[in-house]
Amino acid sequence: MVLLSLIATHSDVDLETVARLSAGAPKVPSSLLENGPAVAGAVVLATCNRFEVYCEARSEDDVEAARSAAIAEISRHSGLEEDLVSRSLTTNTGQEVAKHLFAVGAGLDSAVVGEREIAGQVRRALIEAQEEGTASGTLTRLFQTASRTAKDVGALTALGKRGLSIVSVALELATDLSEDIDWRNKAVVVFGTGAYAGATMALLKERGCTDIGVYSSSGRAESFTASRGGTALDGESLTAAVARADVVIGCSGSDNQVGADDIRRVREETERPLIIIDLALTHDFDPAVREVDGVELITLESVRLAAPAEQAESLQQANRIVSDAAKAFSEAQLSRELDSAIVALRRHTLSVLDKELEKVRAQHGCTGAGQEVEFAMRRMVKALLHVPAVRARELAANGGQDDYIRGLEAIYGITLDESPAKQSGAAAEPVPEEETGRSKSA
Catalytic residue numbers read 48
| 117 carries a ligand binding annotation | yes
| 49 carries a ligand binding annotation | yes
Residue 115: closest CA among 130, 105, 102, 126? 105
| 38 carries a ligand binding annotation | no
| 149 carries a ligand binding annotation | no
- CA dihedral sign of residues 349, 350, 354, 357: positive
Identify the burial level of 441 via C-beta atoms within 10 angstroms of its C-beta, where 0-12 means exposed, 13-18 middle and 19 or more buried. exposed
| 195 carries a ligand binding annotation | yes
In this structure, the number of other CB atoms found within 10 A of the CB of residue 175 comes to 16
| 219 carries a ligand binding annotation | no
| 110 carries a ligand binding annotation | yes
Q: In the chain, what are the helix, strand and coil shares in percent, each to the nearest 5?
A: 60, 15, 25
| 50 carries a ligand binding annotation | yes
Identify the burial level of 383 via C-beta atoms within 10 angstroms of its C-beta, where 0-12 means exposed, 13-18 middle and 19 or more buried. exposed
| 145 carries a ligand binding annotation | no
| 111 carries a ligand binding annotation | no
Q: Please, are residues 57 and 1 in contact by the beta-carbon 8 Å criterion?
A: yes
| 435 carries a ligand binding annotation | no
| 54 carries a ligand binding annotation | no
Q: Please, are residues 118 and 45 in contact by the beta-carbon 8 Å criterion?
A: no
| 363 carries a ligand binding annotation | no
Which residues share a beta bridge with 278?
Answer: 250, 299
Torsion of CA 401, 405, 410, 412, to 10 degrees: 130
DSSP H helices, 157-268, are 159-162, 166-177, 195-206, 221-228, 235-244, 260-266
| 138 carries a ligand binding annotation | no
Annotated binding-site members for NADP(+):
192-197
Annotated binding-site members for substrate:
47-50, 110, 115-117, 121
Annotated binding-site members:
47-50, 110, 115-117, 121, 192-197
